[in-house]
Amino acid sequence: MDEELVGLVISEARERMEKAVEHTRSEFAAVRTGRAQSALVEKLKVDAYGSDVELRQIAGLSVPEARLLVISPYDKALLPAVAKAIQASDLGITPSDDGQVLRLAFPALTEERRKELVKVVKHKAEEGRVAVRNVRRSARHDLEVMEHDGELSTDELERIERDLDHLTHEHVERIEELLAHKEKELLQN
């Protein structure tokens, strides 16, 4: 049995599962909870200098109050472009412009909107779980090829697959914990 190759397959699977969990975490951060958070807008694409640039690269973001987000473009000439990008986004908030900064005032979420956002978060969690399972499927395929080529015995394959299933379960559980936390956060008044 080629322990090194098996170790490589398992460590690559673990790394890819970690990335799937982190991606899910960042997706959850972009879902509005009624509180102002820079994560809601930092990845917005703004048409600046003839190309699409992430907002965080061209502006400072701050949260002076729980429901207020202040965006300070480094180049004040970009204020209209930033305002346009925010209005075109799915935030549903119109920024107020004083010529120096943009202010986004986040209204309290209605109960209906909270329930819609919970559905969105559950969908994003399912996407994360599917991504983790796809990593498991890919790793299993690699291991089965190794068995077919005679590098692994059937017993060794079964043992390694149990380890892989355990690893998958751990990462799916982490996504479930993130989901529970985000749901609680969304449903708080």
Indicate the residue among 105, 120, 137 that finishes a domain.
105
Q: State the total domains in the chain.
A: 2
pLDDT of residue 109: 79
pLDDT of residue 143: 92
Indicate the residue among 86, 105, 124 that finishes a domain.
105
Q: Are residues 85 and 173 in the same domain?
A: no
> What CATH number corresponds to the domain at position 172?
1.10.132.20
pLDDT of residue 134: 97
Q: Are residues 127 and 94 in the same domain?
A: no
DSSP string, the chain: --HHHHHHHHHHHHHHHHHHHHHHHHHHHTS--SS--GGGTTT-EEEETTEEEEHHHHEEEEEEETTEEEEEESSGGGHHHHHHHHHHSTT--PPEE-SS-EEEEPPPPPHHHHHHHHHHHHHHHHHHHHHHHHHHHHHHHHHHHHHHTTSS-HHHHHHHHHHHHHHHHHHHHHHHHHHHHHHHHHH--
Asked if residue 168 lies in contact with residue 136, where contact means CB atoms within 8 angstroms, the answer is yes
Tens digit of pLDDT at every position of the chain (189 positions): 478 888 899 999 999 999 999 999 988 887 877 677 787 788 889 988 888 988 889 999 998 888 888 999 999 888 999 999 988 887 778 888 888 899 988 877 788 888 888 998 999 999 999 999 999 999 999 999 988 988 888 899 999 999 999 999 999 999 999 999 999 988 875
Q: How far apart are CA 73 and CA 80, in angstroms?
A: 10
Q: Are residues 180 and 115 in the same domain?
A: yes
Q: Are residues 25 and 54 in the same domain?
A: no
pLDDT of residue 185: 86
Asked if residue 32 lies in contact with residue 109, where contact means CB atoms within 8 angstroms, the answer is yes
Residues 6+ away with beta carbon under 8 Å from 133 = 168, 172
Indicate the residue among 105, 140, 158 that finishes a domain.
105
The pTM is what? 0.71
Q: Are residues 97 and 114 in the same domain?
A: no
Q: What are phi and psi of 178, to 5 degrees?
A: -60, -40
Domain that holds residue 172: 3-30+110-187
